[in-house]
Structure 1
Amino acid sequence: MLEEVNRNAYELDISEFVTSHAILLHTKKASTYYANSDVEVVNATLHDVVNGELSLGNEISPHALVKLITAGKERSYSTTDWIPPNILVDSANILMWYQPTMLRHLYLKNSSDVNQQTLHVKFPATLFVFERNTRHLKMFGLDSDKRPTLDSILYQLPIGNISRSGNLCLGNTLDLIPDTPNAQNCHLIERCFFDALSTHTNTEYLFLKDEEDKKRTLFTQIVSYWARKAKRRHRVNVKKDLIPLLSIRTLMRG
């Protein structure tokens, strides 16, 4: 004969809990940088609850907030918690990282060419910004291989399939993006450009001289530029050749 189950044994006894603190999230209307969201969380404040009422609160950092919530939990470590040194931002929506100058393959094809060109070039240091909500990828040039700061200037990369705002035209490369992009696999997202074929320009000017002369950059110039770099094994002179756009700080403000 089955023993009758005491359902009361599974009920949560709220009398054991005391509401001692409250966390308030302070928001503003979202900028375009945080697309697909009506509001952007600006900060959080922690308040004592006294006699059922909120007291004045103090601002609390995201790191302190996580520590507060996980206080008393069993300590555990995982290699997935390790943050590589090239990761700059890993938030709910934004994953931002950089790569120093390195040898890369570029696949280029003019509309008038029968075959594509594969060039092995010294590609400049690059900042990558991936938006998880929209699955958009931005790419910008950097003038140093050192870890960027908020005041580092971002440059227009002289490549095809990229807009003035740094947005890469992903085309059919979306399948190359991991299902759950994170700090450990973000380098795989870079394949959306470096494993893809560049065929056209998405903005009017891609070189500083062209912008100064108000002369639209043609895709044939892009191909010639990288072919020369590949033949001579020269690095890109970022400050001389490329168009400065904005700082990382400005980018993050939206």
Structure 2
Amino acid sequence: MLSTAVSKYELETRSRTNSIQSKVALVLHSVATSNKKQQVITMHNIDDNQLSKGKVINSKQVTRMVSGKGGYFDRAQSAKPLCSSLIDERVIAENDNDVVFYTPPSKRTLWYSTTKNTNFSILSPGLFFHFKKSTKSIRVFCYLNRKKPKLDTMLYLPPMLNIDRKGSLCTGTMRLPKTWSNAGIDLIISNFFDSRFTHSNMKTASGIPTIYTDDEANMAYMAALEESERKMKAGELVEFKTIAAYLENADD
């Protein structure tokens, strides 16, 4: 599934009496967050004396490895666990085809082109993006706390036009990364907010509040948020899944 990537290091292992071939390396990282420092262990296959992309593992997995549990390395090398990234602190998980990242709450301007062109400056909740690198498709959800989202953070359907009941975004003319790099995060976020919100993608959804299903109701809701300068409330929004539940079945 989703794995980390770190810099490559050249390795050389020699022995005077025996031929030793190194297959796997463990790297201990010190990761600084906004509140504290923590240590993260990544496991890397060694190919041509260089470290490959790493996968985050925990201390129990390390214990199993050094205790000689049979077949662990083969299973570990074939597994592709979902794990946190060390590249950009906004990246929650990543693999060869998917990247999941977030942007924190902030004041944003939404540009609308429905019956008329207008815009709303609101206190946007934090947004959670899932970008598929091969198909260039995007799913978007929101969360309501100000801190960095955790695995138990609840995701909600954003009450914004152009997004359907599974979070899929109609990208329209948005500029999207041709090849993935960290710069793709800022490109997607800026183009999301700079794009035009033109239509509801939930018009036929039953049991969904009208702020999702009706363009005029949505615009009235955004206008009220702008005038009152208040945040969105959980009671107004439709719950989707926790981040942990989403990452377990991200293709559903």
Q: TM-score, normalised by structure 2?
A: 0.63
Flag the 1:62–1:153 CA change in 2: closer, same or farther, 3 A.
farther
1:235 aligns with 2:251: no
**2:244 and 2:167 mapped to 1: Cα distance?**
15
Flag the 1:57–1:22 CA change in 2: closer, same or farther, 3 A.
farther
The residue aligned with 2:214 is: 218
Tell me the secondary structure at the aligned position of residue 147 of structure 1: coil
Deviation sequence 1:148-169 (CA, Å, 0-9, x none): 2222211010000001111100
Residue correspondence of structure 1 range 2-151 to structure 2 within 5 A = 56-58=70-72, 59-60=75-76, 83-111=87-115, 113=116, 116-151=117-152
Flag the 1:184–1:110 CA change in 2: closer, same or farther, 3 A.
closer
Q: Name the larger-Rg structure.
A: 1
Tell whether the 8 Å contact from 2:154 to 2:243 is kept in structure 1 after alignment. Answer: yes
Tell me the secondary structure at the aligned position of residue 213 of structure 2: coil
**1:123 and 1:138 mapped to 2: Cα distance?**
17
Tell whether the 8 Å contact from 1:205 to 1:215 is kept in structure 2 after alignment. Answer: no
Gaps of 5+ in 1: 1-17, 24-54, 64-80
Structure 1 ranges of 4+ moved more than 4 A: 18-23, 212-216
Tell whether the 8 Å contact from 1:151 to 1:248 is kept in structure 2 after alignment. Answer: yes
Flag the 1:214–1:225 CA change in 2: closer, same or farther, 3 A.
closer
Tell whether the 8 Å contact from 1:86 to 1:98 is kept in structure 2 after alignment. Answer: yes
**2:126 and 2:142 mapped to 1: Cα distance?**
6
Tell me the secondary structure at the aligned position of residue 171 of structure 1: coil
Measured after TM superposition, the shift of residue 240 of structure 1 is 1.5
**1:240 and 1:107 mapped to 2: Cα distance?**
25
Gaps of 5+ in 2: 1-18, 25-68, 80-84
Tell me the secondary structure at the aligned position of residue 108 of structure 2: strand
1:182 aligns with 2:181: yes
**2:98 and 2:221 mapped to 1: Cα distance?**
32
Tell whether the 8 Å contact from 1:127 to 1:139 is kept in structure 2 after alignment. Answer: yes
Tell whether the 8 Å contact from 1:170 to 1:192 is kept in structure 2 after alignment. Answer: no
Tell whether the 8 Å contact from 1:84 to 1:184 is kept in structure 2 after alignment. Answer: no
Q: TM-score, normalised by structure 1?
A: 0.62
Tell whether the 8 Å contact from 1:87 to 1:183 is kept in structure 2 after alignment. Answer: no
Tell whether the 8 Å contact from 1:205 to 1:216 is kept in structure 2 after alignment. Answer: no
Measured after TM superposition, the shift of residue 184 of structure 1 is 3.9
Flag the 1:216–1:183 CA change in 2: closer, same or farther, 3 A.
closer
Measured after TM superposition, the shift of residue 130 of structure 1 is 0.7
Measured after TM superposition, the shift of residue 221 of structure 1 is 0.8
Fraction of identical pairs, as percent? 23
Flag the 1:189–1:230 CA change in 2: closer, same or farther, 3 A.
same
**2:209 and 2:172 mapped to 1: Cα distance?**
31
1:197 aligns with 2:196: yes
The residue aligned with 1:248 is: 243
Amino acid at match of 1:128: F
